[in-house]
Amino acid sequence: MPNGMVMQGEMHNEGHSGHGGGHDHSAMIADFLRRFWICLVLTVPVVAISPMFQMAVGYHFDFTGRDWVSVVLGSIIYFYGGWPFLTGLWDELKRRQPGMMTLIGIAVTVAFLYSTAVVFRLVEGMDFYWELATLIVIMLLGHWLEMKSVAGASKALELIVKMMPAEAHMYHGGEMLHDMRVDELKIGDLVLVKPGEKIPVDGTVTEGSSTVNESMLTGESVPVQKTEGAKVIAGAINGEGSLKIRVDKSGKDSYLNKVITLVQEAQAAKSQTQHLADRAAKWLTFIALSVGFGTLAIWLAKGQTLAFALERMVTVMVTSCPHALGVAIPLVVAISTAITARRGLLIRNRTAFENARRITAMVFDKTGTLTEGKFGVSRIQTLSQDFDKNTLLATIAALEQESQHPIAQGIVAAAKTAGLSLPAVSNFTSITGKGVTGQVKGKKISVVSPGYLKEKNIELPVDDAGSAAETVVFVLEDDKLVGFLALSDQIRPDATEAVRQLKSQGIKVFMATGDNATVGKAVAEQLGLDGYFAEVLPHQKVEIVKDLQAKGEYVAMTGDGVNDAPALAQADVGIAVGSGTDVAAETADIILTDSKPSDVLGLVNFGKATYRKMLQNLWWATGYNVVAIPLAAGVLYPQFVLSPAMGAVLMSLSTIVVALNAQLLRKDLTAKLIHSMQS
């Protein structure tokens, strides 16, 4: 393990698609949808006047010039609607990786050329224009559904940059301030950060005192006290005091820029899962070409006419490119993303459909993921008969209600939750870095830190709740200790059960946190984790994920902060909790909008159900070819030969079966998700 990272072993032993550019991706989705609607409108008359379709359905409709209408409309559909597949075919052939585009491109081209040859009387037979048109329309729809399901290219790097303020208050010529662009600051410059502002640079405090919230950057849940000589990080949020900071790092050397680099590297290195439909299409391409040209050669060798042999070849090639294959996976994707979104799981990367079922190790960030990410009152202790717990809490809250400090906000929130009425406060005074004091019901009440007690030589009680996992504030009445209150980052209510359920499925559960080892151990023991990593920095979280992957684990990372973004990108499945930063959400494959750890269990179950439905649909989409292709080739001729019309009917039936089977996923997924979330 890298230096500075405290790792504890297993508690029981102790006692991946990169995201593309947003504008291009959105334009491509719009283009596919536009081509679909235009081709759909043109397909209706093509199908209606097709002799093959009329024969299959059982009606007759003819008029002078019918063939030429078919040629014109079929040509528009082929060149306009089929263009993405034709260019895709060319790209796949150049890469020597035939897949879905190759199969579609060959099928529509063969159908177009053969149909045109029939219309111009170059060969005898019936045209395939209606097959050509419906195939292109359904494939456009399928690809649009597929692209739509992963729409929203990654904005992680932009969002990280946006965390940096654009300008800083720079000292110029001594004490005079003026605003300057952050990217123009140089090492050694002095800047002022006012209360509540974001820190613009990595630097050192030269003057002032304040607490700084670094939780979204480092994962440290407790705001850090910064005084002269302390290091600060760009993007952190300053608390109640003003800080004068000397610039130590700028540009590419800053903390956030290093995070950006880590995200870029991890996203670029993530291998993309090859889609199941593409693998099926690749094999069908080889089968279609081999059997198609083999059929042509065999029938010509046996003395059949060119027209008969061509019809058999075309029937084989068109039949082997099933309509259903184009929607088999996208339909499952579309239904899955819709159902899970309503349950609080947003899918950004379709490979997560397969990846979630393979998870063997789950790494949770602590702050904001397993815990609430904010202070809650964990214990109240009174040391005077004049105060009960509610009175003590109300008194403290009355003094703290004007403060924006996270500890103060946690105390006030606890009092509000308890429905307490807060007493009036007068002569309120802040004791810099030590606490607050004021008059409450005629008594001088002070809420102070342990350091203040030591400074005043006030003896701390033996049971002072001084665990490093808690923050303690003490209450003095006329300088006499009357009680104390302990706060800690609260574990989410469903976290314990979520961990238990994940472990019951054979998934190892770990925690990585920027907090100290004492806090990490306390949380890990309470949740029953397999292990934990404490005091980790962003690049160390990436190393944790890589180490687990090197040991053969299929790793999911769950987090909510900027510090989690690189690890989310590196993990096989990156899961962001929705209450965290946009950076984490945009880097992840899956977003849990309700920030519930139990939703991860639903995700695993949903991944398994979705993958199983994908396999079923692929079988229904392609399985009929086991019978249809030999019959289309004429293996039972002259007793039986599969006509182009019958081949089209079989394809239509497989498409209907695939659509119905995909709809059954709604019931399956809903049942699994409800079960996992109610467990």
Q: Annotated active-site positions, please?
A: 365
**Burial of 300 (C-beta count, 10 Å sphere; 0-12/13-18/19+):** middle
The CA distance from 591 to 588, in Å, is: 7
Q: Residue 596 CB: number of other CB atoms within 10 A?
A: 21
> In this structure, which amino acid lies at residue 519?
V
Rounded CA gap, 255 and 514, in Å?
15
Detail the DSSP E strand segments found in 209-242. 210-213, 224-226, 231-232, 237-238
3-class DSSP assignment, residue 461: coil
Contact assessment for residue 598 and residue 364, using Cβ atoms and an 8 Å cutoff: no
Strands 590-592 and 345-347: antiparallel
| Euclidean distance between CA atoms 530 and 534, whole angstroms | 14
How many C-beta atoms lie closer than 10 Å to residue 454's C-beta?
Answer: 11
CB 591 within 8 A of CB 574: no
Nearest residue to 362 via CA among 511, 570, 568:
511
Distance CA 629, CA 633 (A): 6
The sign one gets for the Cα dihedral 547, 550, 551, 555 is positive
Closest CA to 214 of 228, 193, 229, 231: 231
| Cα 15 from Cα 12, distance rounded (Å) | 5
Question: What is the DSSP code string of 7-69?
Answer: EE--HHHH-------HHHHHHHHHHHHHHHHHHHHHHHHHHHT-HHHHHHHT-----TTHHHH
Q: For residue 613, which of 540, 668, 676, 534 has the smallest C-alpha distance?
A: 668
At residue 476, φ and ψ (nearest 5 deg) are -115, 135
